[in-house]
Amino acid sequence: MGISRLATVSTALAVVVTCCSGPTEVSMTDLARVVARDGVPFVLPSIPSTILDRLSAHRVVVVGETHLLREHREMMAELVRELHARGFRQLVLEWPHMVDWLLADFVHDGQLEPGWQPSVVLGGDMITAIRDFNRSLPEAEHIDVRAIDVNLQDYGGAREFRLALRALSRHLPSPGPVGAFLQGTYATPEAQAEELVTLRDELEASQSELVAAWGAYWYETVSEMVEVERASVPVRAMRQDHYDLSVRLRENVMKRLADLRLEGYGHGTVINVGSNHAQKDYLLGTSQEWLGDYLVHQSTAAQGSVIVLGVTPARVVSGSGGATTYDILDTSPDNELFRLMYETWSDQIVFLPLDDPVFGSERVPLNFEGTIYVCAPERHYDVLVVLPLAHRVPFT
């Protein structure tokens, strides 16, 4: 639910999408009654035990975010710390896979790359908070942080992948076939695909020797990096002219990586991704099967034990001047669900389980990026969370 193009009330009300034909919208009075009864307000750093108990009853907690919001990251860091006491040991992120090994090293204080810091844009403050929390724990109880996104151009694409692989190669006893790969041109998608296949084949042909020289962990790490980059090349190449297909290919990679992180993992896992990726069913007029949909309905690794949260801000402040660039009161009618949650507890975060039958009735107005959808929110999320105020981190 990233906020980009905003609408005024009059514009938003002119763009109303009804998910299916049926009864009229639920009344503001009835909806407000459910919000007041079921909503759980709180202020960080405290998260009520009723929320933690509900989440920890599941093996996987999927959180859908609006990107670049500082308060969301603060909430996530606290949520991960609180769930640790209930057996959660892994945080999986919509980060480029090429930094997966760097994240692992950073949060466990490995100091392989002491000058590396996790990107502020992607949520480095949240990762640093988890690293600091790990320092207070025995090593066996550390929280792992893993990356499951493809290597998009937004993250530096091919250039940053090669830099990450070059940095990793410096920690290997010998670079092996990685050294020859790093001497290649790696210029066009065609060249990238060819050079990656060559590298993959050389890794496989020399597997026993490389495992003996590097150790199984680094061999598997390099092999996985290569496979994810192979999948990233067509996603990057198609993104401009065949966007829908590139989205589908990207989502398929995220599903496979999420399964890899969950398979055989004996502890609870929190997955934090964009709200589109998190949803249990399509909402924004697409037929895409999103990551949340897959984990809830298809993934054997998730074991059917998944709860999905959608998190959105009521107000967003951007820029050094502190200008308000989004206000839900300007973009929602009076009976819109996020607005009612905000107006009921305007100075607190609100956690709203979508248990009441009204949320499955296709009658609830819900504001996504200035477009009002009349739909059944329970189809898409199990819980909705509203942040009263959020500060957007500049994307630089």
Domains and CATH numbers, the chain: 1-87+267-396 (3.40.1660.10)
Identify the bridge partners of residue 144 per DSSP, sorted by sequence position.
90
Q: Given this model, what pLDDT does residue 263 score?
A: 97
Handedness of CA 38, 309, 331, 71 (dihedral sign): positive
Q: Rounded to an integer, what distance in angstroms lies between the CA atom of residue 51 and that of residue 384?
A: 12
| Per-residue CA distances from 7 to 4, 87, 332, 333, 363 (Å) | 10, 42, 9, 12, 22
Residues of the chain with pLDDT under 50: 1-15, 20-22
Helix (H) or strand (E) holding 222: helix 216-238
Here the tokens at position 200 are 């993959």
> Which residue from 105, 89, 126, 116 is spatially nearest to 261, judged by alpha carbons?
89
Dihedral class, residue 156 (left if φ above 0, else alpha if ψ from -120 to 50, else beta): left
CA dihedral 221→224→229→232, nearest 10 degrees, is -130
Here the tokens at position 181 are 């790969």
pTM: 0.93
The one-letter code for the residue type at 251 is E
| Cβ–Cβ < 8 Å for 272, 91 | yes
Looking only at Cα atoms, what is the longest distance across the chain? 70
Q: Given this model, what pLDDT does residue 369 score?
A: 73
Q: Given this model, what pLDDT does residue 322 score?
A: 76
Q: Rounded to an integer, what distance in angstroms lies between the CA atom of residue 42 and that of residue 74?
A: 13
